[in-house]
């Protein structure tokens, strides 16, 4: 395995030893995770767990893997043998060990929400089947991340942080489907921005990253779709074009509802890659199809999130969108500047007499008055990405209470 890591470092190669990658070696996982796919492993947080804490415990944080988790063993001197490369269009490319990175004085911790672009995909599939891991509303979580700001590494490599034509590519150590590895890029406007807060992180909620969340090193790109936050990071490359990895070019793009697998091919090239998140919110309590006794008191809870913009209001309807009331903002946190609300907003609405049976709906707004579309049908797309339609939950009356 050490040999395999050295191969990455010295040859910049993606031709890893596939025999070291197998599903059998995958890590222990919490039984509370809802498994959406076994191989590769994809699992989400249950709604009952989602809004309980502002920071999502790592063991129940959603896991989104495109392939097997790399079987990184922990050799004795892992901290000095695990290497991160920083190269590409830079004056001073360098390699740095995990240990050396962790001793950087620039080390910071920051809270940020990650959300998969496929969050709430199953609601789209109810309209017409979409292709992808069937996510409910739990492909989202908020954690404290510790690492070194990406822009400091790019500065040390003497990259041109102000060149708007550059992209920064992150390569992951997971190799699958024969020869493909996972890589993503983000534009320099985000990567090189001190206040963009892109982090090269080794810890989550105060502990080393777990294998599922990218041990030993990952990127956290706050405000962007989760796909860009590359796990098992081993290389950062400055390019004058986007990453050509298939997960950058042939995935995570948004098409019209009329686009099908028959006519999508010519569109991949001309359609821009998704970058920042849109406005999202969902009800976490009660769960869909719950039973609440008519007339009883109940507090509705949920989350809301934008691309860094502040969530200004969350509206809740108890009658399927006819009338609305504003929920209480229970917890909200900004990171110094108004455009850096990287963590989700937790909200609640106490209801004195619950009007079940009913359909409850939520929708959030940010400071630009960006909000959510009424129905998933209008934004349906063949990959089922970016579903941020009003979130609806059906509540039944408990006739036997
Ligand atoms: N190397 C690598 N990085 C990756 C992925 C992957 O499959 N391989 N999945 C991405 C996607 S689509 C998402 S949403 C996030 C999920 O991070 P998590 O599993 O820690 O929640 O990781 C991203 N980083
Ligand atoms: Mo994702």
**Rounded distance, CA 204 to CA 210, Å?**
8
Output the CA 212–ligand 1 centroid distance in Å. 9
* 234-254: pLDDT as tens digits: 999 999 999 999 999 999 999
- In the predicted structure, residue 51 carries a pLDDT above the cut 90: no
Work out whether strand 311-317 and strand 233-239 pair parallel, antiparallel, or are unpaired. Answer: unpaired
- Model pLDDT for residues 310-362, shown as the tens digit of each residue: 999 999 999 999 999 999 999 999 888 889 999 999 999 999 999 999 999 99
Do residues 350 and 264 lie in contact, with contact meaning Cβ atoms separated by under 8 Å? no
Q: Where exactly are the structural domains of the chain?
A: 2-270, 280-396
Nearest atom in ligand 1 to 226's CA: 14
The pTM of this model reads 0.93
Q: What is the pLDDT of residue 162?
A: 97
Query: What CATH class is the domain 280-396?
Result: mainly beta
CATH level 2 (architecture), domain 2-270: Alpha-Beta Complex (3.90)
Q: Within 6 Å (CB) of ligand 1, which residues are found?
A: 61-66, 114, 116, 172, 174, 182, 213, 226-227, 229-232
Torsion, Cα of 175, 272, 274, 186 (10° steps): 60
For residue range 190-237, list pLDDT tens digits in order.
999 999 999 999 999 999 999 999 999 999 999 999 999 999 999 999
pLDDT of 9 higher than 70:
no
Cβ–Cβ under 8 Å, residues 193 and 166:
no
pLDDT, tens only, 297-320 = 999 999 999 999 999 999 999 999
């Amino acid at each position: 395995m050490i040999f395999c890591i050295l191969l990455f470092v010295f040859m910049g190669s993606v031709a890893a030893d596939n025999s070291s990658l197998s599903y059998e070696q995958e890590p222990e996982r919490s039984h509370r995770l809802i498994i959406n796919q076994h191989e590769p492993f994809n699992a989400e947080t249950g709604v009952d767990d989602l809004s309980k804490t502002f920071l999502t415990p790592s063991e129940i944080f959603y896991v989104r893997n495109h392939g097997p988790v790399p079987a990184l063993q922990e050799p004795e001197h892992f901290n000095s043998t695990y290497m991160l490369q920083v190269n590409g269009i830079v004056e001073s490319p360098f390699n740095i060990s995990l240990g050396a990175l962790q001793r950087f004085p620039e080390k910071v911790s920051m809270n940020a929400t990650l959300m998969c672009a496929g969050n709430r995909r199953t609601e789209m599939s109810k309209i017409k089947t979409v292709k992808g891991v069937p996510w409910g509303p739990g492909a989202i979580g908020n954690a404290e991340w510790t690492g070194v700001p990406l822009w400091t590494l790019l500065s040390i490599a003497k990259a041109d942080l102000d060149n708007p034509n550059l992209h920064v590519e992150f390569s992951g150590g997971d190799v699958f489907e024969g020869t493909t590895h996972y890589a993503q890029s983000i534009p320099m406007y985000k990567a090189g921005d001190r206040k963009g807060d892109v982090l090269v992180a080794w810890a989550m909620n105060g502990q080393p990253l777990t294998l599922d969340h990218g041990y030993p090193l990952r990127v956290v790109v706050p405000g962007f779709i989760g796909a860009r936050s590359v796990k098992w990071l081993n290389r950062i490359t400055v390019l004058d074009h986007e990453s050509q990895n298939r997960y950058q070019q042939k995935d995570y793009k948004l098409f019209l509802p009329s686009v099908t697998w028959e006519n999508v091919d010519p569109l991949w090239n001309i359609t821009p890659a998704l970058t920042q998140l849109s406005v999202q919110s969902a009800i976490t309590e009660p769960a869909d199809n719950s039973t609440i006794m008519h007339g009883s008191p109940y507090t509705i809870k949920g989350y809301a999130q934008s691309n860094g913009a502040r969530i200004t209001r969350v509206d809740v309807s108890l009658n399927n969108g006819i009338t609305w009331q504003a929920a209480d903002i229970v917890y909200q946190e900004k990171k110094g500047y108004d455009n850096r609300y990287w963590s989700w907003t937790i909200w609640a609405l106490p209801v004195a007499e619950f009007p079940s049976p009913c359909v409850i709906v939520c929708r959030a707004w940010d400071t630009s008055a960006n909000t959510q579309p009424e129905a998933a049908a209008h934004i349906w797309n063949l990959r089922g990405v970016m579903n941020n339609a009003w979130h609806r939950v059906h509540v039944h009356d408990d006739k036997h209470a």
